[in-house]
Amino acid sequence: MNKRVNLIIGSGVIGAYLSAELLKNKQKVVVTSRSLNKNFINYKYLKIKNKIKFEKLNTNKRNQVKNIIEKYNPKKIFYFSGQSSLTKSIKNKKETLISHYNGTKNFIDILKKQKSNIKFFKANSGYIFSPNKGLIHLNCKFSTNNNPYIIAQQKVFNLIKNNRKYGLNLSNLIFMQIESPLRKNDFFIKKVCLGAKNKKKIIVGNLNTFRDYSWITDVVKAIYLTSNLKSKDYIISAGKKLSGIEII
């Protein structure tokens, strides 16, 4: 198979927008999902569904992971799958760990065994770190928060970092708050925008909290550019924190 194929694990928002960015750069894209019995509405919204090859994959099944790597021999693998809700992870501890750590480990073990030069990128979260003077950087200490999602992603971060020493092309991609038109209406920025547009009163939480907000199209452009650089850990963000009050 052509080495220009990009394999995206997970059919969520980031994967959809990255697919659009890769297609714009004349790249071939294959997207995996645990089920093919879905509408892939993110891809429909971006009008790219018919340009994507979808494959069924359970990342917890090592044999399935091995088969899809051998079938496509991709140039790059973007692992954007996994349970990503801090709240839901509390009730689904095992699923959260398996979807992030076990799935990632299956890919790494196979790439290591094959002595592969395929580039592998794992999406991660700035929540795994404790801010230093209000800022997140790669030298920050891990957060002591015992949320299952944070713990799972911290394990993945170390897994990626520790296995790079074997000559594998592995990278952690650390994201902060990513906004997009596909956000649900109850997310803060979208709620504010819709309230202003419709001239309706909205109810929000603490406006004194700060977040680093990035726009999805900027993020996927950065992912694409980063994927052509040396394999290491990267933080992809706006690099500026805003409070709720500033946004309103």
What's the start-to-end Cα distance of the chain, in Å?
A: 50
Q: Mean pLDDT, to the nearest integer, of 215-239?
A: 96
Q: Say whether pLDDT at 204 is over 80.
A: no
Question: 11-55 pLDDT, tens per residue?
Answer: 999 999 999 999 999 999 999 999 998 899 999 999 999 999 999
Question: 85-127 pLDDT, tens per residue?
Answer: 888 899 999 999 999 999 999 999 999 999 999 999 999 999 9
Q: Say whether pLDDT at 3 is over 70.
A: no
Largest CA distance in the chain: 58
Question: 140-199 pLDDT, tens per residue?
Answer: 999 999 999 999 999 999 999 999 999 999 999 999 989 888 877 777 777 888 888 888
Burial of 40 (0-12, 13-18, 19+ CB in 10 A): middle
Measured CA to CA, the distance from residue 212 to residue 175 in angstroms comes to: 9
pLDDT the model gives residue 195: 84
Residue the block writes with tokens 């999902």 = 33
pLDDT the model gives residue 4: 75
Q: Mean pLDDT, to the nearest integer, of 58-83?
A: 96
Sheet strand arrangement including 53-56:
53-56, 28-33, 5-9, 76-79, 119-125, 169-175, 234-236
User: What does the block give as tokens for 207?
Assistant: 């406006």
Q: In which band, very low, low, confident or very high, does the pLDDT at 1 lie, cut at 50, 70 and 90?
A: very low
Q: Mean pLDDT, to the nearest integer, of 222-228?
A: 97
Q: Say whether pLDDT at 135 is over 90.
A: no
Measured CA to CA, the distance from residue 46 to residue 20 in angstroms comes to: 7
